[in-house]
Amino acid sequence: MTVESTAARSAARRSGTGGERATRAATSGKAAENGKGEAPESASAPEKPRKTAAKAAKATGSAAKSPAKAPAKSARKPASKSTAKAAPKAPAKGGSAAKTSPKADPKTRTRAGGAKAKTSAKTSPKTPAKARANGSGQDEHELVQLLTPEGERVSHPEYDVDLSAEEIQGLYRDMVLTRRFDAEATALQRQGELGLWASLLGQEAAQIGSGRALHPDDYVFPTYREHGVAWCRDVDPTMLLGMFRGVNNGGWDPNSNNFHLYTIVIGSQVLHATGYAMGVAKDGADSAVIAYFGDGASSQGDVAEAFTFSAVYNAPVVFFCQNNQWAISEPTERQSRVPIYQRAQGFGFPGVRVDGNDVLACLAVTKAAVERARAGEGPMLIEAFTYRMGAHTTSDDPTRYRTDEERAAWEAKDPIQRLRSYLENENLADAAFFARIEEESEAMGRHVREAIRTMPDPDTMAIFENVYADGHALVDEERAQFAEYQASFATEPDSGAAAVEVN
């Protein structure tokens, strides 16, 4: 898969005009801007922002209202003084279920059916963001939060969402079913059905909130724990299990759902996402790319390179770092001396830290970031501050390196319970709704167990498929050798083992 081919496909899938636009841009002879308003020195100079200011203003509401959103300006001056929290408010375009509503007036916010919401969002309290005893040095004001751990709706001056009761119920359903799927997978590993499982327990809000902020045309580059995002992209969950069972190499076609295969090599997908986003920009395609990675991955050179290239080329990529505070047994303090989101400033694009256990905040911030990327304003880093409630994988024993108290403190911030409290307190869902979700969750459990137990073993020769898009001499040779080796078992004479008596 090449950047050109995927990006071209991506453009073709949309209006069909992207490629035309790209060709026009390439042949117009106009100097591309280099991010400083100067003429480029060479053909490899940074890309021109993908949209005109007028188009971007149309896409995002009014440029006049939010001058920081003018793409030309932000493309040229990506590192504004307030870079760390410079993400502008971005009203959503049509076509997605949940709408971002910057500075929505809490008094006029309504529920589904037009009824006024009984409760309005209160001004955000000083949210305790120093979530771990050993802390990250994070200032408490830095965390974007729309829902407190107790399920109280609060507002934020820059980010908000205006959702109907049904939409909020949908987020709850997504999180419950994802957690159930994850729990089944962990149990199946314990029963010997899977070789390994990397649980997302505790990270449901970060994944569902960000996953539901995306358009179908956006492209996702996950790591190995993004089961909730896969759910949002309609990837068949049993395919994820197949990979951890060792019967497929990912099992889904990345281009069917715009969800790349899971990546185990830490951080590498962040660079892939950036390259893909550069291709999207070259095509003039109207979509964004999102790369998921962890706090540990943020130490990888690939991630630093991705940050540099995305900034310089103004690539439409959102970096979504789930800071679950552990990289296997290494705490975040061993990865960074500053809160991870602040690193963005040094690369010249905005970074923001969001409460990763707050699905509404994750949705609002990610929507703003992808809208910004689509509007040609370049990359943004989101650090979702969350917690890995379970082990790193089923091979890990976290009791060897962290305390029960730490885990208990985070249990009190459970992302699902907090949304449930909100739904119940505000009468946005009744007992019948929760019962229905419970039933659905049971059905999902049954389906997953049944699917894994009946999953066929693969044809052993399948390993040679999809190595290259086209044929390759070396692969052909290896295939032939392996076929011969396999065949040797069928014809092997009796070894005579039965004749050996063991006394």
Distance, in Å, from the CA atom of 239 to the CA atom of 194, rounded to the nearest integer, reads 12
Q: How far is the CB of 296 from ligand TPP (least distance, A)?
A: 3
Query: Torsion angle, CA of 409/406/186/270, rounded to 10 degrees?
Result: 100
45 binds, among Mg ion, ligand TPP, none (CB under 5 to 8 A by kind): none
* Stretch touching ligand TPP by CB under 6 A, among 325-333, 352-360, 440-448, 492-500: 325-333
Active site residue 159: no
* Stretch touching ligand TPP by CB under 6 A, among 154-162, 188-196, 295-303, 416-424: 295-303
DSSP conformational letter for 85: G
Distance, in Å, from the CA atom of 57 to the CA atom of 374, rounded to the nearest integer, reads 11
Active site residue 233: no
Distance, in Å, from the CA atom of 248 to the CA atom of 462, rounded to the nearest integer, reads 9
Which of 328, 409, 444, 463: binder of ligand TPP (CB under 6 A)? Answer: 328
Residue of 392, 418, 420, 422 marked catalytic:
392
Q: For residue 48, which phi and psi values (nearest 5 degrees)?
A: -75, 140
419 in contact with ligand TPP (CB under 6 A): no
The smaller minimum CB distance to ligand TPP, of residues 23 and 395, is found at: 395
* Long-range Cβ pairs for the range 476-485 (8 Å, 24+): none
343 in contact with ligand TPP (CB under 6 A): no
Inter-CA distances, 487 with 173, 401, 496, Å: 50, 48, 20
Binding mask 192-231 for ligand TPP (x = CB under 6 A): ---------------------------------x------
Q: Are 369 and 380 in contact (CB under 8 A)?
A: yes
Distance, in Å, from the CA atom of 324 to the CA atom of 330, rounded to the nearest integer, reads 11
392 binds, among Mg ion, ligand TPP, none (CB under 5 to 8 A by kind): ligand TPP
Query: Which tokens is 262 given?
Result: 């899971």
Inter-CA distances, 445 with 123, 319, 387, 453, Å: 40, 32, 24, 12
∠ Cα 372 54 70 (to 5°): 45
Which of 48, 233, 367, 388: binder of ligand TPP (CB under 6 A)? Answer: 388
SS (H, E, C) 224-248: CCCHHHHHHCCCCHHHHHHHHHCCC
467 binds, among ligand TPP, Mg ion, none (CB under 5 to 8 A by kind): none
265 binds, among Mg ion, ligand TPP, none (CB under 5 to 8 A by kind): ligand TPP
Residue of 141, 334, 401, 485 marked catalytic:
401
184 binds, among Mg ion, ligand TPP, none (CB under 5 to 8 A by kind): none
- Biggest CA–CA distance in the chain, Å, is 91
Inter-CA distances, 395 with 194, 327, 392, Å: 12, 14, 8
266 in contact with ligand TPP (CB under 6 A): yes
Q: How far is the CB of 398 from Mg ion (least distance, A)?
A: 12
Residues 303-332 that bind Mg ion (CB under 5 A): 324, 327
Active site residue 388: yes
Q: Are 319 and 307 in contact (CB under 8 A)?
A: yes
Q: How far is the CB of 298 from Mg ion (least distance, A)?
A: 9
Distance, in Å, from the CA atom of 310 to the CA atom of 381, rounded to the nearest integer, reads 11
Residues 327-386 that bind Mg ion (CB under 5 A): 327
Binding mask 255-294 for Mg ion (x = CB under 5 A): ---------------------------------------x
Site for ligand TPP, rule CB under 6 A: 225, 264-266, 294-297, 324, 326-328, 388, 392
Question: Catalytic residue positions?
Answer: 388, 392, 401
